[in-house]
Amino acid sequence: MSEFGSGKSKNKYEINDITNVKFSKKNSDKNGDADEPKPENDVPSISFITLFRFASTRDKVYIFFGIIFSMTCGAMIPINTLLFSSLLQSMVNFGISVIMGQPEGDEFLDAVRRFAILNSAVGGVLIVLSYGATVLMNISAFNQVYRLRQEYLRAALNQDFEYYDTHQTGDFAAKMNGDVVNVEDGIGEKLGTFIYFQSAFVSSIIMALVKGWKLALLCLITFPITLFLVGMAGLIASRLSKKETIAAGKAGSIAEEVISAIRTVYAFSGQQKELQRYETYLGESRSINIKKGFFNGLAMGALFFCIFGSYALSFWFGYRLMVEEPETYDVDTMIAVFFGVMMGSANFGISSTLMEVFGVAKGAGAQIFNLIDNVPTINPILNRGVTPPAIEGNIELKDVKFYYPSRPDVPVLKGVTLNVQRGQSVALVGHSGCGKSTIIQLISRYYDVVDGGVFIDGNDVRGLSVRWLRDQIGLVGQEPVLFNTTVRENIRYGRQDATDENIEQVAKQANAHEFIMKLPLGYDTLVGERGASLSGGQKQRIAIARALVRNPRILLLDEATSALDTASEAKVQAALDKAQEGRTTVVVAHRLSTIRNVDNIYVFKSGNVVESGNHEELMKKKGHYYDMVMMQYSPEMSETDDGNKVVRTTSVTSEKDEDDIVPTKLEETPEAIAQEVSFFNVIKLNKPEWKSITVASACSIVSGFAMPLLGLILGDFIGVLSNPDPDAVLAEVRRFALIFVGIGALTGITQFNVVFMYGIAGEYLTARLRKLMFEKILQQEIGFFDDKNNSTGALCARLSGEAAAVQGATGQRIGTVLQAIGTFAFALGVSLYYEWRLGLVALTFVPLMAAILYKQGRMVSAESFGAAKTMESSSKVAVEAVANVRTVASLGREETFCNEYGRLLLPALLLAKKSAHWRGIVFGCSRGLFNFVYAATLYYGGTLMVYDGIDYAVILKSAQTLLMGSSSAAQAFAFAPNFQKGIKAAGRVIVLLSRQSKIADPDKPAVENFRGTGEASLQNIEFKYPTRPLIKVLQNLNLEIEKGKTIALVGTSGCGKSTIIQLLQRYYDPDGGIVAQNGIPLPKLRLADVRQTIGFVQQEPILFDLTIGQNIAYGDNSRKPNMDEIMEAARQANIHNFIVSLPQGYDTNIGSKGTQLSGGQKQRVAIARALIRRPVMLLLDEATSALDTESEKVVQEALDTAKAGRTCVMIAHRLSTVRDADIICVLRDGRVAESGTHQQLMQAKGLYYNLNRRGYS
């Protein structure tokens, strides 16, 4: 691999620091494949033994016995062969004796009886041992995987943030499911089966060599060739598998990113673009897999040809030996040797199909163990370091230098020194990107400083126990992350042993108790994925309660109130002031009014402290701080803050809920219930590939004829042997040899076709299904994603799992079944044609075998659905924890999530163990039953020979064809498991694909190519969120939005401001009333047209893992904006200069969810993205709330230029930003309570006046 070639050109800027070359993830997906060899992907290979590293002693004992049992089973095969060959010898002797005219009936019947008894005994042993082996191997595998999954999650949560900055974690859901299942495959019953086949192979060959070495060696001639072929195919396959894993991982990553940012994708109509991005990686993995199919097909074809060729040789040569060395070679020896070698190589051939499973398992294991073994520098779970007895809370930074590991060329802190005494409160201010939040991350030791040191009570944090350190710190961030569980549990994450009283107490302190009690289930209300069902202010207060519940000595507030409206902010600020008493507090603030009364203020400018002192001192200096305050200062308010005494009715009423608390348990949506799908429907999914499928299916049936034909010729061949004339026999033998070669050629060609053609069809199907499912998901209404069954993790798991499972029901599996049907039909026909009585006796056993095989199928299906459900719910927990790893780390809750995950996995483990016993019985029967069938048919055949004088060749043909036929048929049905799983999965896929979105384009839009002019209206709107059907958000709301006017929506948090914006973009349809643009109701217009004219900037902008340029261009997906437009938009958004200052300019990759940029930078990129589509209407959902003063001023100017000549609907909590709006609407109780200009509303002295007095504008 040209690692260096691609490395050099790519990592231009990272050469300087050779010691720490871990960050070549810079422009990861910029040019797709050119930079494939990233160190991250070249995971070191592992040995197969390593897969068992999570086996307990008990598991090892199980595995040991499982392997011994499998070996013993394998060794039974040559015993069968010996019994059979001696029986044939008796038959030939009997045949000769009949020709000679002195039939030896009794001796012959004795021989037959002996055969029947011994053969049945062998059958019994096979059944018992196979059962044992299967159960033991499976149970040990389930136990190991149970541990492995937990370890994997633990390792993922334990990585330090440097790892997350430099690696993609998007494909975590896919890896968690896919890779682990692959490992499970490689260490479970398939390993036992493999050993069974191998031991059968070895013991059969040994038996053949002992009986007659000359013939055995001749039979084995082709063996090295087949070995070489199989080995090559395996090698190529594992090479390709590794590549394919990477491509599939990228596709999974895209899906996760898109689904978690679905609102943004919809706002900018990016569905098509995302679909294409997803498709390119799907196509990549599809073509890799097709290549794999081609090589496998070649190997299989060659293998069959070689096998049949060697049969031909050995028949001819075997007869020569019988003529030349009659003392060693008789029929018995010849048949024993021939069958020994045949059974041996057949078993070897079958086992070679399992080789791939182990290769895949090794690849998957390498990925998993690579993460598990990656020991982070900052290791909370190991928890090394000192644990001081008490903490005072003095914080000191000495000459700290720092850059983020993912961007080592951008220094963030350039030698910062600051000091916080215990109990002091200190504020860090400065414009965005100057390193304020970085300091907070360094105090919690999320990163280690590059130079200098961070000290707590004089101890360097690097020497302290990470877990203890983080337990002492309460952190409230700017965008609080809540987990998908109840409010109470969310608060309890702050401290595990908190009682319900503690929780309510801190909720009261954080001013959250009241609104929590208003929720449908109070503290037991689920908050939805990432807290989606609560408003910003509500989330923030729960996060504050969560930080307070641990009663921390040090409180770190990273702009904890920036995203709140005035009413909530006043309350939260009061809560924080209360919380700060007696605690060391570090506050990062953009709104300077919130930090007037702190003890010390440090002013930052580009990574250095430029001023410090308290508010008064700094105001006197008239330096940076003074400028910042003057920018924010509003002329109308006096400095005194006596506004806080206003009665606090507004906030409470806004969160009131007209029905008293009624539980809003949604009835489980029948989404997840799989539709019963007929097999035919599954085939229909594969319609576009009908050509390759037809060819493959025809070939399958034909290749099925091979085994019965073999039996037929064998019968004829042995029949010829009792002919006393050697020349006639030789001629016949030669003819049979040629027939064999012919069959070999035919089988080889058909096998290649089967494998390759089905491979193509299956891969196209999988890729197409994934694409269709992804497309379908991207058409669903937003309400669909609010439902917790459709969380990001669950949907990603479905995308990666279901499509692959469907392939199990189509493609090669169908081939195997068709082959079995072909074999069986042909065999049955032949056997009934030759000797119907014998055929019928053999046929009586068929239903029993069919029943066992069917049972196996049913078993698996029951297991698959239950397990799928538990797997999905547990993978939700895991994905959520990994996605919000920063929050998990700050709460020190890694263990909690691991335990919760383990708890959710248990039911699946128990279910699987139960089913293992059944599988064992079925497996055992499918191996051992034949012996009973053979015993019965040949015993009956013997009696027919003696009493009815039927020629033994006829008996042999009839019995052999049927038995060989049914045995290969049974092997085919061993694949039933995947078949069932596939059909089930197809059912779930079809359910998803047939789900119609509740919000879709009209059949015929009222206006073609509608272009809004920026005029909109909402009339008599009634609205409730679909996931919370009992809470009315808007009732009878009326709002006119005139063209070119700026309309501001203000009101307390949770009063429906953001809802209005969501309705304008038609994320939801109102329950009553009309939302219209230009007088046309939105449902009558195309969604893309409705959204095309709207530019949307939200409170927590979501950016994609693309370059900055691509992120801005994302704003207009209807065309390809050129570079000049992108730069123009960036200039308008005031971010052009910053982008140009980055080493790679517009080609800088910003990391997933935009983690590499500061809040203000993200926000301006988002504004540029909204402007590039040249919208006529801007929707600003608190677009500046999360910014510091300087950025805010910059962004505000950007917005002011952007607003010129456009309609603008803005939500603001900071009333100073809405002062010059044309109309200000105050919302309360879900309707517009007052509206007018700032002046009018101030004079009216109503709600707005109160909000204004109370808030600091």
CA separation for the pair 416, 863 (Å, rounded): 59
Alpha helices by DSSP H, listed for 810-893, are 812-834, 836-883, 885-891
Q: Which residues lie below 8 Å from residue 645, measured CB to CB, with a gap of 6+?
A: none
- Residue 895's contacts (CB-CB under 8 Å, 6 or more residues apart) are 381
CA–CA distance from 785 to each of 780, 791, 1068 (Å)? 8, 6, 12
Contact present, 506 and 549 (Cβ < 8 Å): yes
| H or E segment to which residue 259 belongs | helix 223-260
Grade residue 39 by pLDDT with cuts at 50, 70 and 90.
very low
Q: What is the pLDDT of residues 555-586, one digit of tens each?
A: 888 877 766 666 667 777 777 777 777 788 88
Residue 1026 has a pLDDT of 84
CA 1139, 1141, 1147, 1152 dihedral sign is negative
Q: Which of 153-157, 214-218, 295-299, 868-872 has the lowest mean pLDDT?
A: 868-872
Q: Give the pLDDT mean for 1105-1114.
A: 87
Contacts of residue 188, defined as CB under 8 A and 6 or more positions apart, other chains included, come to: 137, 138, 140, 141, 142
Q: For residues 830 and 1161, what is the distance between their CA atoms, to the nearest angstrom?
A: 79
Beta strands 1207-1211; 1046-1050: pairing state: parallel
- The answer for residues whose C-beta is within 8 angstroms of residue 521's C-beta and 6 or more apart is 486, 661, 663, 664
CB atoms within 10 A of CB 489: 18
Instruction: Tell the residue number behind the tokens 């086992």, with chain if given.
Output: 351
Q: What are the pLDDT digits (tens) for 837-882?
A: 888 887 787 777 777 766 665 655 555 555 666 677 788 888 888 8
Q: Which amino acid is at 681?
A: N
Whether 730 shows a pLDDT value over 70: the answer reads: yes
Q: What is the DSSP string of 33-75?
A: TTT---TTTSPPP--GGGGGTT--HHHHHHHHHHHHHHHHHHH
pLDDT at 669 over 60: no
d(CA 189, CA 140): 10
Asked which of 79-83, 152-156, 230-234 is least confident by mean pLDDT, the reply is 230-234
pLDDT per residue as tens digits for the range 633-657: 544 443 333 333 333 333 333 333 3
- Rounded CA-CA distance 222/1056 in Å is 78
* pLDDT score, position 883: 82
pLDDT tier for residue 33 given thresholds of 50, 70 and 90: very low
% residues pLDDT > 70 (the chain): 87
Spatial contact of 143 and 49, defined as CB atoms under 8 Å apart: no
pLDDT band at 9 (very low <50, low <70, confident <90, very high): very low
Q: What is the pLDDT of residues 193-236, one digit of tens each?
A: 899 999 999 999 999 999 988 888 888 877 787 778 777 877 88
- Residue 34 burial (C-beta neighbours within 10 Å; 0-12, 13-18, 19+): exposed
**Number of neighbours of residue 870 by Cβ within 10 angstroms:** 18
Q: Is the sign of the CA dihedral 333, 338, 342, 345 positive or negative?
A: positive
Q: What is the dihedral of CA 1003, 1006, 1011, 1014, to 10 degrees?
A: -120
Q: Is the pLDDT confidence value at 125 over 90? A: yes
Q: How many residues does the chain have?
A: 1257
Q: How many other β-carbons are positioned within 10 Å of the β-carbon of residue 149?
A: 27
Model pLDDT, residue 204: 93
Read off the pLDDT band of 1238 (50, 70, 90): confident
The answer to which of 218-222, 812-816, 892-896 has the lowest mean pLDDT is 812-816
- pLDDT of the residue at 75: 93
Is the pTM higher than 0.75? The answer reads: no
